[in-house]
Chain A
Amino acid sequence: MKRRPEMSLLVLGRIGLGALRRATFWWSVGLGGVVAATIAFWPAFKGASGISEAIGNLPAPIVEAFGLKDFGSPAGFLRGNLYELFVPLLYCLAGITLVNGQTAGDETSGRLELILAQPVARRAVYLARMLACVVALGAIVLVTLVVQLGMDAVVGLSIDTSLLTATVVLCGLLGLLHASLAYAIACLRPRTSFVLGIAVAAMFAGYVVNALFQLSTPLKPWRGISPWNWALAGEPLERASEPWRFAVLIALSAGLIVLGTLVVRRRDVAAA
């Protein structure tokens, strides 16, 4: 019985999602917990002039590099505690590890062997797994946003919902970009340590370029090469983000996914 390619993609995607259920749950619980625990401290920081004064005594580039500006305001509190580093970092790690496990991990362990021996194209198997990871990452982002909004209401943290949503989405897209990078690497060379090493190195390099290059006058203009800069330099918690920030992250992610899907057929499948 012949099966249309899109049907295979659907079946394979469902299989991928099934395998990701547990990891998605725990990442959601972890990230939701981090967000909830952090927001719970907002009442202690709210309008605390002492902290703002202490931070005000630090050099301006340091304050900006570590996202400590206006720490006593809702936007400053969220930026400094969550959205300058932790949440995007955890989204990136979630994306990278989910994709790594579904592609390079399953391939090198031999768990893909029987799937790839079925009447399905290798490209469809990999693409479906990547798309399942996109859905899983989307679910993790959604849970974070829901927890954030819920906790905001509980502790009385007042911030524009659309700005908050845009910030969470931009962080999620940063995670997607790194997940897509991990996918492209896994499609090229399915070694889990290789995939993890390169993707995590790219993530940290991006953060360092965005956060620390501003401390050096000659390096400062180069901040623009960092995906972290594309996602977060527009102060998304304080003003509406430009559409290109979303577009560039989505376009690059899509490009990496297409590239990976094209090259995966050109190499041998790793043996267990």
Chain B
Amino acid sequence: MQTDEVAVLEIEGLVKHYGRVEAVRGIDLSVRRGEVFGFLGPNGAGKSTTIRCLLGLLTPTAGRISAFGLDAAQFGVALRRRIAYVPGELRLPERISGRDFVAMVGALRGGFDRRRRDLLAERLRLDLARPVRELSTGNRRKLALLVAFLSDAELLVLDEPTSGLDPLMQREFLALLREARDRGATVFLSSHLLSEVQRAADRVAMLRAGRIIAAGTVEDLRRQARQRLEVWFTEGAPQADLSLVPGLAEQRVEGRRFTATLIGPVQPLLDVLARHAVASLLIQEPDLEEAFLDLYEAAA
């Protein structure tokens, strides 16, 4: 399913203070229908606070959140009917079985299809007969995910969804995510795990201390990161020419070997290299983690 330009979720100037603590300090973002939107940041960056404002659990100090055109402060129930949520700090009722928990949430959402429930439980390798108190952290997370995917919500809000899941289950989660997107759902994926967001998200917003420090596609953000490059020249490295290339930093010359980092377009570097005899050229593609760290350092 392709994303379209219609915004499912819009956050404008969101501010949330807890007394003197400024948890969110002005967030603006828009999530398009059908996309997986990664909301990235370390613990305490304001991700969960933003989500809890969206769900009406917190009242924003300032700003506005709307989803499906409905104001979150005014139409909380109608909005939550179209949202499924997996909290980061997951606490479930201990004394009931997984099946009873699914039934409980189902009763509040107008009922779940039992056959689909069993199929999902099988895919997630989850024993619904066991009491919640006997489930491991990972299995509790699976239970919350099962309920979220079972609800057929138009917007899935997932806060640290793979926390506690083993790699096999993380793969299964990504498959479920793709299926949800294919049926037209939008996903708001909050995580501090770069690899997870890199694999799943179409677009990403990076948060630091309650503010968005970067937003765009994963590719956009990668391009903003340092690329590590290593060039071997057939003769000595043309240090003077290379020092004029914009964006080159951490330059080191060791005989015929030249290493540096590059931020920005690669073309000016290639123009310089074209004028010299190059034996080999290696430009490492930056991953989101490097982009994240660079942006973080820059913002700090």
Q: Which residues of A does B touch, CB under 8 Å? A: 1-3, 8, 11-12, 14-15, 18-19, 22, 109-111, 113-122, 267-269, 271-272
Contacts and interface: CB of A to CB of B under 8 A. Distances in A.
Contact of A110 (B56, B81, B87, B105): B87
B81 A271 contact: no
Contact of A269 (B52, B89, B95, B105): B52
A11 B107 contact: yes
Contact of A117 (B57, B95, B96): B57
Contacts of B83: 117
Given A19-B93, A111-B91, A113-B87, A121 B77 contact: yes
A117 B55 contact: yes
A110 B89 contact: yes
B77 A119 contact: yes
Contacts of A268: 57-59
Contacts of A1: 109-111
Nearest to A119: B81
B57 A114 contact: no
B50 interface: no
Contacts of A19: 93, 95
B108 interface: yes
A165 to B, nearest CB: 33
13 contacts: A8-B108, A19-B95, A22-B95, A109-B91, A113-B87, A114-B92, A114-B105, A114-B147, A117-B55, A117-B80, A120-B80, A271-B48, A272-B91
Contacts of B107: 11, 14-15
B238 interface: no
The 10 closest A-B pairs by CB, nearest first: A1-B110, A110-B91, A119-B81, A269-B57, A117-B85, A272-B89, A118-B108, A119-B80, A11-B107, A268-B58
B76 interface: yes
Considering residues A11, A114, A267, which has the most beta carbons from chain B within 10 angstroms of its beta carbon? A114
B206 interface: no
Given A115-B108, A117-B55, A271-B52, 11 more contacts: A1-B111, A3-B108, A12-B108, A15-B104, A110-B91, A113-B57, A114-B91, A114-B105, A114-B147, A117-B57, A268-B58
Contacts of A269: 52, 57-58
B78 interface: yes
Interface residues of B, number: 31
Given A1-B110, A11-B108, A113 B77 contact: no
B197 interface: no
A114 B108 CA distance: 11
Nearest to B78: A119
A269 B78 CA distance: 19
B59 A118 contact: no
Contacts of A121: 76-77
A113 B159 CA distance: 13
Nearest to B82: A119
Contact of B89 (A2, A12, A15, A271): A271
Given A2-B81, A114-B87, A268-B58, A120 B108 contact: yes
B144 interface: yes
Nearest to A108: B91
A78 B95 CA distance: 38
A118 B105 contact: yes
B15 to A, nearest CB: 14
Among B58, B108, B110, the one with the most A-chain Cβ atoms within 10 Å of its Cβ is B108
A62 to B, nearest CB: 46
A118 B105 CA distance: 8
Interface in B75-127: 76-78, 80-81, 83, 85, 87, 89-93, 95-96, 104-105, 107-111
A265 to B, nearest CB: 9
B81 A114 contact: no
Contacts of B78: 119
Nearest to A270: B57
A195 B147 CA distance: 32
A3 B110 contact: yes
Contacts of B59: 267-268
Contacts of B90: 110, 114
B89 A120 contact: no
Contacts of B92: 111, 114
A120 B111 CA distance: 14
- Most chain A CB within 10 A, of B57, B76, B105, is at B57
B54 to A, nearest CB: 10
B96 A118 contact: no
B89 A18 contact: no
Contacts of A109: 91
B77 A120 contact: yes
Contacts of A116: 55-57
A272 B59 CA distance: 17
A117 B87 contact: yes
B38 to A, nearest CB: 20
A118 B83 CA distance: 8
A9 B66 CA distance: 26
Given A11-B108, A116-B55, A119-B109, A18 B96 contact: yes
Nearest to B147: A114
